[in-house]
Amino acid sequence: MRLALLLALQLLLSFAPVPARAADYSPTPADFAEIDRLTGDYYHALDTGNYRAAYAMQTPGLKAMMSFAQFEAMNRDGAAGRGPVKARTRTGVTWYLDPPNAQAPGLYVAVDFVAQHVTVVDAKEYLVWYRAPGETSFQLMRHEQTADLQPASGPPEPAPAPLPESRGNSIGYTSVREARAALSARTDVTLRPMEGGWFVVVVPSENAIWSFTPPGHAAYPAAVKRYTVESNGAVSLGMSALCEASKAACDDLMRQFQEMNAAIARQMQGGKGGEDAAPAETSETH
């Protein structure tokens, strides 16, 4: 039963990865990792109001077009009008090496997203990262959003009550980045880059599956660990998480995983003639 529950959890995560489109450049795993890191850090800075950190990631040319004061005011006004981000989904990554119509030679990486905010739905936006010839780091050259945004219909739904937080660190790592690096370095795990930038690590020896939120996600960075628990002949799903985003975004993430766990439990109950299989207690560290 314990193995069946873990297999059901893996099946839920087994949708095929979507490879990034490469226009004329074959990115290395290190390239992908760096773009993911930068994109995640940039959106995390914007979503948490750390505009100074976001501004620092821009190219000198982009900074010359807009001072920090202008950048901060523009983003504060935009955030106030749209409301907090509820979801942001990556829809594509395209790599261009020395494109003929570019401002300068180098590697350009376009990252496309669709976002939903409290008062705006289907906001399309994209980032362009640039790495000059001979350089090893990328800088943000462009961040654009579509202008024809449609407001969400009706007043926003009332926010649910905050979820309780656990005391101490139940996930075993001090940061999401540390957890991902440590798990990725293990030889007894299976790494699964997933659709939209999700990163999943399956640890068979611990009957556990780790899910890391993708860059740009409202709850980035976050790590959710789900594992099977057996007690008195009953098997259930336990869950612990480390989330470094806003409290509201972290709570939304936990609710989504709680719903998935409940769906798995119902599936297992139906398949086993009512045998006990239910979500176990959840712990969240913020």
In this predicted structure, what is the pLDDT of residue 157?
Answer: 65
Q: Residue 277: what are its φ and ψ, rounded to 5°?
A: -160, 110
Q: What is the pLDDT of residues 5-17, one digit of tens each?
A: 444 444 444 333 3
Q: What are the beta bridge partners of residue 121?
A: 150
At 278, list the tokens. 């239910």
The residue type at 210: W
Confidence of residue 113 (pLDDT cuts 50, 70, 90): very high
Domains and CATH numbers, the chain: 2-13+160-285 (no CATH), 21-151 (3.10.450.590)
Confidence of residue 155 (pLDDT cuts 50, 70, 90): low
Rounded distance between C-alpha atoms, residue 82 and residue 117, angstroms: 6
Rounded distance between C-alpha atoms, residue 108 and residue 98, angstroms: 8
Better-predicted residue by pLDDT, 277 or 209: 209
222 within 8 A of 253, measured Cβ to Cβ: yes
Residue 187 in this model has a pLDDT that exceeds 90: yes
Q: What is the pLDDT of residues 133-148, one digit of tens each?
A: 999 999 999 999 874 4
pTM of the model: 0.73
Rounded distance between C-alpha atoms, residue 35 and residue 41, angstroms: 10
Rounded distance between C-alpha atoms, residue 99 and residue 83, angstroms: 36
In this predicted structure, what is the pLDDT of residue 283?
Answer: 56
In this predicted structure, what is the pLDDT of residue 111?
Answer: 96
Length of the chain: 286
At 145, list the tokens. 């959003």
Least confident of 133-147, 222-236, 250-264: 222-236
Calculate ∠ Cα 234-14-33, nearest 5°. 115
Confidence of residue 108 (pLDDT cuts 50, 70, 90): very high
Q: What is the pLDDT of residues 195-227, one digit of tens each?
A: 778 999 999 999 999 999 999 999 999 999 999
In this predicted structure, what is the pLDDT of residue 56?
Answer: 98
Taken in order 192, 196, 197, 200, the sign of the CA dihedral is negative
Query: 123: closest CA among 132, 139, 136, 112?
Result: 112
Over residues 237-262, mean pLDDT:
90
Confidence of residue 150 (pLDDT cuts 50, 70, 90): low
CB atoms under 10 Å from CB of 104, counted, come to: 12
Q: What is the pLDDT of residues 28-45, one digit of tens each?
A: 989 999 999 999 999 999
Strands 234-243 and 277-285: parallel
Confidence of residue 267 (pLDDT cuts 50, 70, 90): confident
